[in-house]
Amino acid sequence: MFICLYELAKKENHEELIKFASEVLEIYDKHRINGHIIGRNRLCAN
């Protein structure tokens, strides 16, 4: 969910939302949540 939010925010150039989603994803990475999904190049439904 946050990956798609991040991608949409980037597409729309929404700086606050990019920062928010990025920080959430960093927390996921820090705690190794969904570590089997590598990087932010994950597929999102468009």
Write out the DSSP string of the chain.
-HHHHHHHHHHHT-HHHHHHHHHHHHHHHHTTTTTTS-SS------
Instruction: Give the pLDDT score at 33.
Output: 83
Instruction: Give the pLDDT score at 12.
Output: 97
Q: What is the pLDDT of residues 1-46, one digit of tens each?
A: 888 999 999 999 999 999 999 999 999 889 988 776 655 555 576 5
